[in-house]
Structure 1
Amino acid sequence: MRIDFISAVPELLESPLNFSIVKRAKDKGLVEMYVHNLRDYSTDKHRHIDDYAFGFGAGMVLQIEPVDRVISQLKSEREYDEVIYTSPDGETFNQKIANRFSLYRNIIILCGHYKGVDHRIREHLITKEISIGDFVLTGGELPAAMMADAIVRLIPGAIGDETSALSDSFQDNLLAPPVYTRPADYKGWKVPEILLSGHQAKIDEWLHQQSLERTRLLRPDLLEE
């Protein structure tokens, strides 16, 4: 899998893309990640990539030309399954989308910035708009890194035990059950006896019931889906 990030502030992606599971997947050759500095595609001698909005108030807008130049160059080299734009008004990112994206071969993520991008970019160059929630950030780099983490960990071999991802919250529209580890008794706070019984069928049943109960209590909307 290959992920190309287009960013006005590429430094914001350096840390999240070079640690933990994402770095391990890169080191194993399971995923390639490239961060493209949008300023490298500016035709302005000062490397400007933004300008004032026509007929609007305060706030700068990413220009269409540098974005078109970098996307056109990337698409001339390979085919992409999606060209994603991180936007507050996009489709809300969730586990189902992460599962689908993890099956793709190549994706581009354009990180929004400033007041947004020239709308013609969204009309002609973007195939999918994604939001991580109903709030606004300074830029789309952090949402892009979050999406990449959620996607990459689903690639076979990225995590030590591949079955671990199957029991994550949201995989089956349920929240994960509570988890415990040693010691079994700490300050009188005890691990549920069923988990120490060694009877795996009963343990699995208990875990499933716990998932259902937690979902009903905390996220009943998931059960409605």
Structure 2
Amino acid sequence: MRFDVVTLFPELFAPFLISGVTRRAYETGLVDVKLWNLRDFAEGNYRRVDDRPFGGGPGMVMMAEPLARCLEHLKADRLACGAAEVPTVLFSPIGQTLNHASVERWSAGSGAVLICGRYEGLDQRFIDRHVDQQISLGDFVLSGGELAAMALLDAVARLQPGVLNDEGSHQMDSFNPALDGLLDCPHYTRPEAWRGEPVPAILMSGNHAHIERWRRDQRLALTQRQRPELVRQARRAGQLSATDEAFLADLVENPEQDA
């Protein structure tokens, strides 16, 4: 898959693409990332890409023409390389919130063109004509789309085969269908006692069936406490067993108990 990133700050991506376990995806080409500096497609000595908004108001607006030129150029490059046609994505607070299900779809696709906005936003005419989808990371505003683009690239890269050290690792992630969409349970490692706090005894028991039940209960308790809508979603999907329901019912009766 190939992602083309349109940005005013391509240098922000350099350390990101060579750091951490996900660098394997970029180094091997499993996730091909091409960076396009928007100023290369602007005119004039100052390579201006923004201007004041019509109607007045604070801030500046990114101009449509440099964006369109860049998009046309990168699409021609994709065509020459035999890359598949992909959607053009803009990171924006008004977009649909990125979640695990959408990341899984992106991870199985051919990539995208990622537009990293800045300032007060983009000229709406460019959005209307060229943007296929808008994505948000949540109900807050960033100074630009670069961090959002990195978040999507990282989430997609770690799902590619051979990227994580343990192929089954991502199956235990929060929100994964393998966990029925629940949050992940707490994890512990050496030493067995840290500053007077021991590891839960059941994890040292060697009884794998009991350990798995404990982990399931922890996931249920944590999700019920932090994200109860995910428990309701799992219930509607028929993913909760009678044992799960009994545990949750007991949790309601005894909310202070240790799961």
Which TM bucket (shorter chain)? over 0.9
What is the match of residue 45 of structure 2? Answer: 45
CA RMSD, Structure 1 to Structure 2 (Å) = 1.5
**Counterpart-to-counterpart distance in 1, 2:15 and 2:207:** 43
What is the match of residue 170 of structure 1? Answer: 175
| 1:5/1:33 contact within 8 Å kept | yes
* Correspondence 1:1-225 to 2 at 5 A: 1-76=1-76, 77=79, 78-172=83-177, 173-225=181-233
Query: 2:175 is paired with a residue of what secondary structure?
Result: coil
**Counterpart-to-counterpart distance in 2, 1:196 and 1:17:** 39
**Counterpart-to-counterpart distance in 1, 2:190 and 2:154:** 29
**Counterpart-to-counterpart distance in 2, 1:160 and 1:23:** 12
Seen in structure 2, the aligned counterparts of structure 1 residues 223 and 81 have a Cα distance that, compared at 3 Å, is: farther
Offset, 1:185: 2.3
Single out whichever of 212-221 and 45-54 deviates more from structure 2: 45-54
Amino acid at match of 1:178: P
Identity among equivalent positions (%) equals: 40
User: What TM-score, normalized to structure 1?
Assistant: 0.94
Single out whichever of 41-50 and 109-118 deviates more from structure 2: 41-50
User: What TM-score, normalized to structure 2?
Assistant: 0.82
**Counterpart-to-counterpart distance in 1, 2:232 and 2:200:** 29
Query: 1:123 is paired with a residue of what secondary structure?
Result: helix
What is the match of residue 239 of structure 2? Answer: none
**Counterpart-to-counterpart distance in 2, 1:180 and 1:161:** 18
Query: 2:95 is paired with a residue of what secondary structure?
Result: strand
Single out whichever of 40-49 and 138-147 deviates more from structure 2: 40-49
Query: 1:20 is paired with a residue of what secondary structure?
Result: coil
**Counterpart-to-counterpart distance in 1, 2:9 and 2:27:** 24
Single out whichever of 54-63 and 183-192 deviates more from structure 2: 183-192
**Counterpart-to-counterpart distance in 1, 2:36 and 2:104:** 25
Unaligned runs of 5+ in 1: none
Query: 1:36 is paired with a residue of what secondary structure?
Result: strand
What is the match of residue 248 of structure 2? Answer: none
**Counterpart-to-counterpart distance in 2, 1:52 and 1:71:** 22
Structure with the higher helix share, 1 or 2: 2
Offset, 1:52: 1.4
Amino acid at match of 1:23: R
What is the match of residue 250 of structure 2? Answer: none
Deviations 1:59-91 (A, max 9, x none): 111111111112122223233332110101111
**Counterpart-to-counterpart distance in 1, 2:213 and 2:74:** 49
| 1:13/1:142 contact within 8 Å kept | no
Unaligned runs of 5+ in 2: 234-259
Amino acid at match of 1:26: Y
Offset, 1:139: 0.9
